[in-house]
Structure 1
């Protein structure tokens, strides 16, 4: 199925609410972090995402970022990606430039590989030619997705709780 990235918009409200609700009901970790924002004030959520891209009223410790939704020809939202425009020390260790996720019912269909590939095109447009993408060591699917997109593994990072983060660089 053909997919593409779109900027968050009120025209996708009903579909996004379905995407969000499915994820909440699954009890899976919501990735990227920006999709955890409660969409009941949908216009406010869209404004928050646009402000993040412009660097306006960023939450403490955040950098400018761009969010896109992965959609089908029928505008079904399959996933989301958040691209950080620069790296802080924390992002360098365990966040990376790109965070992405596919809604639970659409996993294992190749969409994550497509989503990351499309996100890498966006990072290039931002002038980021060496991209850091990370995943938890136990997330085998994400590791495969990153490697399929050219990821070269770098030194792992171990969080305070002992969780191991695999770190990959992708040259564009």
Structure 2
């Protein structure tokens, strides 16, 4: 039996499920990817409103691009992943952020969720008018690289950050 999987907009209706997702990331000690999941959810309604404001391009600092956030929900509303889709690329996003940043909660990895999350995210990016999506990962993140390639990623030149970290960059045609 195939597990039901969908991308949903952040909602207060999934507060408990999201807090479990968030807590698992905190306990793992890993960097939280995408960046939006590092937003403190103690004011949950405020966090959801912040995400909606970002999507509408409201109250964005400086040169930040509007972005849309979705949660990957499986089965009985379990939040297993999150994605942040940037509507356009700034110079920084072109170099090392890309259009799509996504992450799967630590205990749910290696189950095929990342490939499905990226595939669903590419559909959303196309709906946003993005014709060619840039997706990136750190050089050592073999699982993410395989996920990007599986979803049609074409390698582009790498970007080396100031600290020496190498970012692998891939383009995916959405036409």
Instruction: Tell me if both proteins adopt one fold, taking TM over 0.5 as the criterion.
Output: yes
Matched, 1:52 2:54: yes
Structure 2 residue aligned with 1:76, among 54, 71, 78? Answer: 78
- Number of residues of Structure 1 aligned to a counterpart in Structure 2: 172
Q: Moved runs in structure 1, 4+ residues, more than 3 A?
A: none
Q: Give the structure 1 partner of residue 97 of structure 2.
A: 95
Q: Give the structure 1 partner of residue 167 of structure 2.
A: 165
TM-score between both structures, scaled by the size of structure 2: 0.97
Unaligned stretches of 5+ in structure 2? none
Of the structure 1 ranges 56-65 and 135-144, higher mean CA displacement relative to structure 2 is found in: 56-65
Alpha-carbon separation, structure 1, partners of 2:63 and 2:161 = 18
Cα offset for 1:59?
Answer: 2.7
Cα offset for 1:144?
Answer: 0.2
Structure 1 residue aligned with 2:107, among 84, 105, 108? Answer: 105
TM-score between both structures, scaled by the size of structure 1: 0.99
Alpha-carbon separation, structure 2, partners of 1:79 and 1:62 = 23
Unaligned stretches of 5+ in structure 1? none
Find the residue that maps to 1:168 and give its secondary structure. strand
Matched, 1:31 2:33: yes
Q: Give the structure 2 partner of residue 126 of structure 1.
A: 128
Matched, 1:2 2:4: yes
Cα offset for 1:108?
Answer: 0.6
Alpha-carbon separation, structure 2, partners of 1:77 and 1:107 = 13
Find the residue that maps to 1:20 and give its secondary structure. helix
Structure 1 residue aligned with 2:20, among 7, 18, 30? Answer: 18
Find the residue that maps to 1:39 and give its secondary structure. coil
Cα offset for 1:62?
Answer: 1.6
Q: Give the structure 2 partner of residue 150 of structure 1.
A: 152
Cα offset for 1:130?
Answer: 0.2
Of the structure 1 ranges 160-169 and 57-66, higher mean CA displacement relative to structure 2 is found in: 57-66
